[in-house]
Each structure stands twice: as structure tokens, then as C-alpha cells.
Structure 1
């Protein structure tokens, strides 16, 4: 689990909420066209008789994926997003939605169950850990608040097995769940076209040796040869210098990182945590160049800040591949 999520899991929400008033139910309406819909997620079978109308989202990439599908009006509650990089047009949509947690984590159990959500979307299991005081997936299912985890990040093993195709699977699944399959297909087609454009532009160019890091001088927090960040580097025309290191987000000795001789560096950029600050990109870059001081990347001061939101499941990671490709192969993207 990412260091950011580990830090945030220790934070608790003390605000309280009230359960929605019980309303008398009338005759059951017939399911809309195309329903019921059945989806597999995290080894569970989810069946929807109608599109969700009162959604709660966890970490921001889940919310912005719904924004991309034109579903902002279905979201009744969201967590906080304090990172600087909102996608274009998203800050205004975000500001209109009720904040139910001051961190990226979902609120504590009682507050979460009181939301009365008919769908919960997140991209990691950290917010469903009973030991942390959170409502579990089973408890939310029992409360008719089914949970969908993006990217198949349902366990540490499945996080390592992530491929970019999982993002497309999520888009199509969400399109079916919300009754907008054509909208999802159009979004997916546009994203595939963007990836195809990158692939054509970088074809025949030698891969650039890339170190993806979250800082540290020893050990170094870095991204190994499995998972989402590794997939993004490869798709953007890079070669992960730690591709032989098992794991996704992991610790690597300074000696091994130094010996890798990267030509370019990606540094994770993320938020302020309720009065605490994570190391800045500038500080992490300084630490990294101190470790790889004899590398081509340090000599050229070649670094790109990569929002950590793009390193979690959600459609933003497909957009970020083009940004990384421009950084690695500027000649393939003339102005």
C-alpha cells in the first residue's frame, strides 16, 4: 500500500452524521432498459436493478473517473483532495459535492453507514479496514451500499498484477452500472486513440532509462517492475531501471538505485495531510539526485513531477502517459 495511504489510515474523522429518514415505499418500479446489470469485482458478484443515484467516492481518481463519464450529478459525498493538480474543469465540479471526510480516506464506520449511499467507489481497500475503524465491504454490502474497487486493487497481489487494460474494464463496467454504456465506450475509444498516438510517435525511439521515486536517500522509496507506475513508464517509451525489483511501491537501497544510472527521473507529487506536509518535490528531487549524482539524469537535471493521483487506478493514469512520453521523448511531440 502506498505510503500516502498508510499515513492517512492513521487519521480518523470525528464528525458525526445522521441516518436518512425512513420513507414509506410505494409499488416497485420496473427496472430501466438494460437492467439488471451484473458485474464481477474483487471476487464478488454485484447486481444492480437500476443506476446508482446516491454515490460516495473515496480517493479522488475514483471521483474524477465519474466526472469523465458525465456522472457528477450522481455523487452525493466525496473525500478531500488537497493536491494541486485538478484535471481541467474538475475543481468546480468537486466544489459542489459534499465533503464527508477531510482526508482521502472514507469516513469512519458510523459516519459512512449514515450516508445511505447506493454505491461506493474507491481504488484501494484501505478505507474498508475494520481495524482502522472503517466500515468493511461486507458491512456496506449489507447496508445496500455496494462497493466497487477500481483497477482490481483488491489485494496486494492483485495490485501487482494491474495492467492498463484494467482501467478500460472499469470504464465499461461503470458505463453498464450507471446505464451509460455508449458514453463509456466513447470515452474509452478516445483514450485508446491517445495511447495509439503516443505509441506511433515514439515508435523506433530507444527507450529512456527511468527511475520512478517517492524520495529518500537510503533506502529509496521507488517503484519496481510490477504494477501501475511500471506500466505507465513502459507505455510512454521508458524503461524502468528497477524493472527487476519485485513489487510496485517498495524500498530499494541507495547503492542499487545509484548503480541503475537513470537518464530521467519521475518524482511522485502529492498532498498536505491535515497539518503535516509530505516531502516536497523539490526536496525529493534533491535527495534523488544526491543518490544518483553520477547519472545522466542528475547531470541533465532531468525530472518530472508526477501527481500521485495518476499512480492510482482511474482514468487519469491513461492521460498521464502522454505527459510522461512528452517528457521522455520531446522530439516526438513538436510544438
Structure 2
């Protein structure tokens, strides 16, 4: 039996990157090429763990999957396992995913525009539910979540996207994408698409490594400070992305310094006086996808004008110098392949001429 342990946070890299191909049980089998030169099939049973170490074992690939939101749905689509998804909560907006992925996503049954109601989830007919939220049934969760006993009674295995669900519980700040890569790798193992997962992860690493090489010699003190302005979370009291949030890793890898990197957790409401005191060099206009380029541009314009016209923010260095980045919220704050693309895009803006 080969046990695939699903670890969250930065431990994913330290522990032999346990979910990446090649880190098996020492028997020399599993991930090597088959005689025909193709990657070998997944070696079931496969075991994954949750944030607290509880184990879930799969004797075969699941056939009916429900996703809690667009993050795990997008991963499955990119892995080529989208035909197994029978429903989702928090669906991606039309046009928010590229090309064919968007067409596939729009065909997935929407069980809820937000958190899937408990009875609808338990009665969905799924044999696997992929949870992006951080409840772990320990408080602070999303809605009236089923208990593990209820999942079991309904015949539904329950696993987590640990890069998001376990982030707030992590002992260390999130400064790289190893947890996201581990999620992709683990879903590949669970769904029998490990070769596709490896290709996705390798592509992410290639982009991030190129950025790291280009900006790596820049001293920490000389790296520009950066504020993610979550415009859609409200302007009366800003919501900061803290050091356990994926956005902190994206910002750090891009060669910038998150002005709220000293905040332990994933998100925290702060005051505008806190933003003013940190006076960022750059501000990302975090706008959620509206479904079209025109609608997105309008939202970016609105966010910029708000900062330029508000008495509390118009004097910020980034605002006075017009240092804004128009990059969508989802690809920055939600786990996925595009996190690496965002690292690249931020770095190109902050280090013109250094990042190709």
C-alpha cells in the first residue's frame, strides 16, 4: 500500500515534498515510466490527510465529485477530471476561466451560488466532496457544514484543499506555493491524473523559479512594499491579506513586501490609518472577475478612483505616483495554477527589464 500524505503550509516541501511524483514508499514503484514510455497509472490505494492528520483512503478514483468553490473545480478541470464533477458551490463567473476551461465550468451544475446547503450536499449523490473552507468543524467554518459522521452515512469522502483550508492554522507564514502545488499533486493522485498534475506543477515552478532568479539578489530592504486592496470586500474598513494567505506567498515570490506580512492569519480587517502608516509603494486593485474584460476594466477604474478621491488614501505614495496593478482577486488569493502567473505579472511590473 502506498500512503500519500496531504500536508498543508510550508511543511509540504520539507517532508520530501511528499505529494510530488517520485516520493513514494521506497519500493521503487509507482511514478516511474511504464515500458511504453508513459507514466505509470496511479497505485491505489491512495491515502490523504486533513489539517489535523485524519486519514482518508481511496481504493479507486472517485466518480462523482462535488467542489465547494471555483478553486478546486478549476484544479480538477486543469487535471482533466472535470467530467467527474457533478456540482459546485461558489461557481466561477462566466468568462473568469480561460478558453475551454470556462466552457467546461459553465456546464457544471451549480448547487449554490455560495455555501452549498447541508441537505443538498448530503443528497447530491457525490462520492467525494472537496472542501476549500477552513471549518474542520472547529469553529469559524462556512455555514452549517455536515459532520464527518453525516458525510460517512451519505457515502461521501470529505477532503480539503489544504493550501486554503489549513492556512490559518499553519505554524509558519506562507511564502511559497508549495502547499498549492501539493494540493494539485494530491488531487492528481486521488483522481488518477498524477501525470497531468506533475505537468501543471512543473509549469508553475518554472515560472516562479525564473522570477526568483531575476529578482533574488535584490536585498529585502530594497524590495518595494505592496498592499493588496480588496475593493470588493468593502471600502469602509479595508481587509488585509495576512501572512497565512496565498496572496502573501504570491507577493513575496514576486519580490515585494506585503505591508501586512506581520499579521498572523489569513485575513484581518484593519483601519485605513494602518494602511496610511505603512504607506505602500504599490497597490494591487483586487477586483473579482465581473465576467467580461469591459466589466473588469470598469471595476478596476472604480477602485482606482476611490483611492484617488478618498481623503484618507489620496496622499499615499502609491496613489500619488500612480503605482497600481490591475490584477484580479481570484488568481491572487485563491489556490490555483494561475498563482504562478500572478507572481510573474507582479514581478514584471515591479522589476521592468529584469523579468522576461
Measured against the shorter chain, the TM-score band is 0.7 to 0.9
Secondary structure of residue in 2 paired with 1:100: coil
Is the Cα contact below 8 Å between 2:135 and 2:165 reproduced in 1? no
1:120-269 alignment runs, 5 A limit: 120-125=129-134, 132-150=143-161, 151=163, 153-154=165-166, 156-158=168-170, 161-162=173-174, 163-205=176-218, 206-215=222-231, 219-269=237-287
Deviations 1:20-58 (Å, cap 9, x if unpaired)?
A: xxxxxxxxxxxx861111111222201001001111112
Which of 88, 94, 97 is the equivalent residue of 1:86? Answer: 97
Match of 2:68 in 1: 58
Q: TM-score, normalised by structure 1?
A: 0.78
Q: Deviations over 1:205-225 (max 9, x none)?
A: 442211112245553222234
* Structure with more of its chain in strand, by fraction: 1
Partner of 1:318: 340
Partner Cα distance (2:118, 2:50) in 1: 22
* CA-CA distance at 1:296 after TM superposition: 2.8
Choose which of 96, 100, 123 in structure 2 pairs with 1:114: 123
Residue equivalent to 1:40: 49
- Helix, strand or coil at the partner of 1:247: coil
Q: In the aligned structure 2, how far is the partner of 1:267 from the partner of 1:303?
A: 7
Structure-1 separation of matches of 2:327 and 2:146: 31
Cα distance in 2 for residues equivalent to 1:176 and 1:152: 19
Q: Please state how far the C-alpha of 1:184 moved relative to its aligned partner.
A: 1.5
Contact 1:175 1:182 in 2 (8 A): yes
Aligned-partner Cα distance in 2 for 1:293–1:175: 47
- Change beyond 3 A, Cα 1:127–1:109: farther
| Cα displacement string for residues 239-279 of structure 1 (whole angstroms, at most 9, x for unaligned residues) | 1122233433212222221121211101221267xxxxxx9
| Counterpart secondary structure, 1:86 | coil
Decide whether aligned partners of structure 1 residues 42 and 143 sit closer, same or farther in structure 2, where only a CA change above 3 A counts: farther
Q: More deviation in 196-205 or 231-240? A: 196-205
CA RMSD of aligned residues (A): 2.9
Number of matched residues? 295
Superposition TM-score, scaled by structure 2 size: 0.73
Aligned to 1:213, the other structure's residue is in SS state strand
Q: For 1:267 and 1:83, locate their aligned partners in 2 and report how far apart those are by CA, in whole Å.
A: 21
Matches of 2:171 and 2:110, distance apart in 1: 27
Q: 2:130–2:160: 8 Å Cα contact kept in structure 1?
A: yes
Match of 1:332 in 2: 354
